[in-house]
């Protein structure tokens, strides 16, 4: 099962931070194994947001001092050379929550344009390979060479939007082909905005049950920046309404529930088709 987190806006919609928080909430509620990865190199990546600490030891284990690279770069090149042994994927994955949530780190030893090219050429083989050893892939998809392929091949797309009319108009005007397999997150949601959830649903003819809302939260932003997002979600997951983080946590939990239940229904459909 491949789930792409994406936005038509290049920034401001919280694609990476939403994916990070939802992945943690997903494994807290559901018994699945999830692997996280990005289709781009970035300084502050998913691994840095979720769990602070150096990846040096992890990368040394898989050969970061060789040309093939460690982390995602090395895995791509192993797959390109035809090494499809299921066991090797474990060597390139960093456990964030044991037996439930893994991340494929970035070696960062090649230029981002070369990485973009290699990922684009090998992403289908990469996904097929990883899907054999995990339940769900969650892909942080930015506007790179591979983005079109990822969106086409994804079983489910989590479209990240805001209450900005330009962003909304651009998506529904220019990307209608994605709507049928999408769930929509409205990031940094403010209930008093002119573009509240009911208006978005009615104006763009999207069922309200496919829209979920995540309000802005300062402590969440700090947790992302400091690399302790997992601890933040853990410590507030069962909070009540007296906690200032309550509505944010409820938004994350609802988004995780919607996404996983949709993924489960798609898996059932795929099984019926195969039968």
CATH 3.30.70.260: does it fit domain 2-274? no
Higher pLDDT, 268 or 179: 179
- Per-domain residue ranges for the chain? 2-274
CB-based contacts of 198: which residues, under 8 Å, 6+ apart?
208
The alpha carbon dihedral of 7, 8, 9, 11 has a sign of positive
Is residue 223's pLDDT more than 90?
yes
Higher pLDDT, 10 or 234: 234
Q: How far apart are CA 163 and CA 60, in angstroms?
A: 44
pLDDT in tens, 246-264: 999 999 999 999 999 999 9
pLDDT value, residue 73: 86
pLDDT value, residue 271: 59
Q: Quote the tokens at residue 239.
A: 């909070």
Q: How far apart are CA 226 and CA 230, in angstroms?
A: 11
**Mean pLDDT, residues 103-114:** 81
For 274, the 3-state DSSP assignment is helix
**Mean pLDDT, residues 130-147:** 93
CA–CA distances in Å: residue 92 to residues 42, 49, 75, 76, 115 = 18, 18, 7, 10, 16
């Amino acid at each position: 099962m491949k789930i792409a987190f994406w936005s038509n806006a290049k920034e401001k919609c919280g694609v990476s931070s939403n994916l990070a928080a939802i992945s943690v909430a997903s494994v807290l509620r559901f018994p699945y194994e999830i692997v996280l990865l990005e289709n781009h190199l970035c300084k502050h990546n998913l691994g840095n947001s979720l769990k602070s600490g150096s990846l040096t030891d992890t990368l040394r284990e898989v050969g970061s001092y060789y040309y093939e690279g460690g982390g995602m770069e090395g895995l791509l090149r192993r797959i390109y050379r035809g090494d499809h042994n299921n066991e090797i994927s474990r060597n390139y994955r960093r456990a964030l929550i044991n037996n439930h949530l893994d991340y494929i780190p970035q070696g960062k030893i090649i230029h981002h344009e070369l990485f973009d090219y290699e990922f684009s050429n090998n992403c289908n083989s990469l996904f097929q390979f990883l899907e054999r050893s995990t339940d769900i892939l969650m892909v942080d998809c930015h506007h790179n060479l591979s983005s079109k392929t990822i969106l086409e091949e994804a079983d489910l797309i989590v479209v990240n939007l805001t209450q900005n009319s330009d962003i909304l108009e651009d998506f529904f005007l220019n990307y209608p082909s994605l709507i049928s397999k999408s769930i929509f997150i409205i990031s940094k949601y403010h209930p008093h905005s002119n573009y509240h959830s009911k208006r978005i649903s009615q104006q763009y003819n999207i069922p309200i049950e496919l829209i979920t809302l995540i309000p802005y939260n300062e402590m969440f932003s700090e947790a992302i920046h400091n690399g302790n997002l997992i601890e933040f979600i853990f410590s507030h997951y069962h909070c009540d309404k007296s906690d200032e983080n309550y509505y944010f946590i409820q938004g994350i939990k609802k988004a995780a529930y919607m996404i996983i239940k949709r993924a489960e229904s798609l898996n059932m459909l795929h099984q019926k088709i195969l039968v």
